[in-house]
Amino acid sequence: MASALRNPRNALVLFALVAGALYLFSTRSPAPSKNQAFGYTDEGLPGRVRNAERIYQKTVSGRQGLIKKFGPTPQDVTMFPPDKDPWPPYTVWDFFPPAFNCPHERERVGQLGDGGKWVCGLHRVEDKPDCVIYSFGINGESSFEAEILERTNHCQIWGYDFSVRSFGPQIPTLSSFRTHFKAYGLAGGDSHGPNDNPKMYTLQSLMDLNGHKHIDILKIDVESWEFDVLNAFVKPYLDAGKPLPFGQLQIELHMWNKKFPEFLAFWEMLEAAGLRPFMQEPNLVYNNYNKGGDQDLSEYSFINVKGDNIFVSDPVVFNVHGTRPSD
């Protein structure tokens, strides 16, 4: 071997072979991790949304298992079990955890306690020129709306509540030219004739009245009317195969007089429309003090994963010629 290496040509060939082997080894892709093998990767915003959806679908499958365990059918599952010994080891909320990972920062906007809401990626609308916010249920407290005004440059807020005459006291301390209030109610059907008091509108009717095609953040707290409201609004979009025209939904769900199969069908309708829960906050004051532990009110925050809203899709950037850079 030593004598062979004395030949410059042989030495050069050996060097080339070793260098080639080292290059191939250095450029070879590492073995996938256990999570990568299951499809969990980091590919920017689209990848984060896909990863969150994979995780969420595990929860959907787990729900079916939980129904079989405690049902075994939805008709056999009780919403708030009566007193038993031992107490059944579940409540209705256990079937519907907020298992979708917000692909941005998740934060509580507004004051602590009643009034604040959990939002995913508020920075995405900070400079959005056509940002639209709808808020149903003011009740004299507008810290949520006030913080959105403070932290965004263009968001316009439409507020509705027939039980009060204006936004809460937090709004006048800021520039209020971006707020619009009407003492209207939100319902599953229109009732706004000259003799109707209060005037009631569907969500679609109010969007049409305001000339809006899209809402970035939709907040609803309408004391159990949310089921009629969303059934009337969501089903036409599902039937037409169109994405819902809003990016996020912050809503308080009221379980008064609801049966499990009824709520399950409602929840699955929201899922079919692309809504994914990323945060839940029970109304502890009402549940534990006013109602003695019935646990029938809970706040949820959803993100819409269908369509191209600002929270799941990056905006298309056009160059000076009005075309995409890749065109």
Quote the pTM value.
0.83
Per-residue pLDDT at 123: 97
What burial letters (b/e) apply to 273-287, b meaning 16+ CB within 10 Å?
A: bbbbbbbbeebeebb
Least confident of 219-223, 302-306, 313-317: 313-317
Per-residue pLDDT averaged across 147-164, rounded?
A: 96
Q: Is residue 52 part of a domain?
A: yes
The answer to whether residues 251 and 283 touch, using CB atoms and an 8 Å cutoff, is no
Task: Provide the percentage of residues in the chain whose pLDDT is more than 90.
Answer: 65
Close Cβ partners of 275 (under 8 Å, ≥ 6 residues apart): 244, 249, 302, 303, 304, 305
Tokens 């006048």 belong to residue:
172
Per-residue pLDDT at 296: 80
Q: Is residue 32 part of a domain?
A: no
For residue 221, name the pLDDT band (cuts at 50, 70, 90): very high
CATH number at residue 233: 3.40.50
pLDDT in tens, 167-181: 988 987 555 789 999
Phi and psi at 294, nearest 5°, equal -75, -20
Q: How far apart are CA 214 and CA 66, in angstroms?
A: 36
Q: Is the pLDDT of residue 320 over 90?
A: no
Per-residue pLDDT at 84: 59
Q: Is residue 185 part of a domain?
A: yes
Q: Is residue 169 part of a domain?
A: yes
Per-residue pLDDT at 256: 85
Query: Domain containing 77: what range?
Result: 44-304
Report which of residues 30 and 136 the model is more confident about. 136
Q: Is residue 86 part of a domain?
A: yes
Q: Is residue 312 part of a domain?
A: no
Q: Is residue 21 part of a domain?
A: no
Q: Is the pLDDT of residue 326 over 50?
A: no
Total number of domains constituting the chain: 1
* Angle made by CA atoms 309, 311, 315, in degrees to the nearest 5: 60
Least confident of 125-129, 272-276, 323-327: 323-327
Paired with 277 in beta bridges are 302
Q: Is residue 96 part of a domain?
A: yes
